[in-house]
Amino acid sequence: MSIENRELVAIITREVMEQLSKTGLLTGGVSAPATSKASLAPADLARYIDHTLLKADAKPAEIDKLCDEAKQYSFFSVCVNSAHVARCAKNLAGSGVKVCSVAGFPLGAMSTRAKAFETTCAIEDGAREIDMVMNVGAMKAGDFRLVEDDMRAVRKACGYTVLLKVIIETCLLTGEEIVRACEIAKRAELDFVKTSTGFSTAGATPEHVALMRKTVGPVMGVKAAGGVRNFDDALNMINAGATRLGTSGGVKIIKGEKIKGY
């Protein structure tokens, strides 16, 4: 394929993906909420949830349980470290539950090449969504070119068929930096902005989610992660503009119970 044809394919793919985003198909089947508050029963939250297990000591049996729960409760995806992607892809084959993996997790301080390579490996193993961590240090230093180049490299590794989220780690940023990070992600043609890794000083807040939604507009997804510990937390995040929720306690949340941790 010539360079001109590849560029044309990329442009067409981008336009198609943007239209799909507007339908909500790329944001967990749900569009950004209207101004009226969401009214959901706990069981209705399943389609918002990335069922998450990112602990360093996660064992194969725990990964299998994560997948079984995702299938049982029809969560949107499982989110795991890249070492577990192939196992999840095998467990979830034919179920409709997607496999999400992370890149540059949890610090975001890896080289851009390392993030892109990890992304490529995860996709080869079966990941259909990638949650990359932004280079937070570069953002804090005002090196916005590096921040954007980092995102674009992972976007290139994903192509336009694998959904890409960027974790901006809102607890470490000022409001102005949150806005700038979201603007960069939008310019770099990412699909989602995400609040948190769940491994830093704090997780998502409705205020940060609302600021991110206001900045990116109605088309991009916004994922709230960390601090979503019960049904009320989840509903507050959705009302603030979240279209996806990252949590390790999805089962308890949709049962109306409270969880501890991520």
Would you please indicate which residues are annotated as catalytic (active-site) residues?
Answer: 131, 194, 223
Nearest-5° angle of CA 256, CA 259, CA 262? 130
Structure tokens at 23: 């339908």
Return left, alpha or beta for 189; rule: phi > 0 is left, psi -120 to 50 is alpha, else beta.
left
Based on the number of CB atoms within 10 Å of its own CB, is 12 exposed (0-12), middle (13-18) or buried (19 or more)? exposed
Q: Is 154 exposed, middle or buried (0-12, 13-18, 19+ CB in 10 A)?
A: buried
Cβ neighbours, 10 Å, residue 165:
27
Judged by phi (left if over 0) then psi (alpha if -120 to 50, else beta), residue 202 lies in beta
Token pair 């960069």: residue: 184
The helix or strand, by DSSP H or E, that contains position 49, with its residue range, turns out to be: strand 49-53
d(Cα 254, Cα 245) in Å, to the nearest integer? Answer: 12
Answer yes or no: are the C-beta atoms of 226 and 261 closer than 8 Å.
no
Return the closest-CA partner of residue 17 out of 161, 228, 186: 161
* Distances from the Cα of 212 to the Cα of 13, 36, 43, 182, 220, angstroms: 25, 18, 26, 7, 10
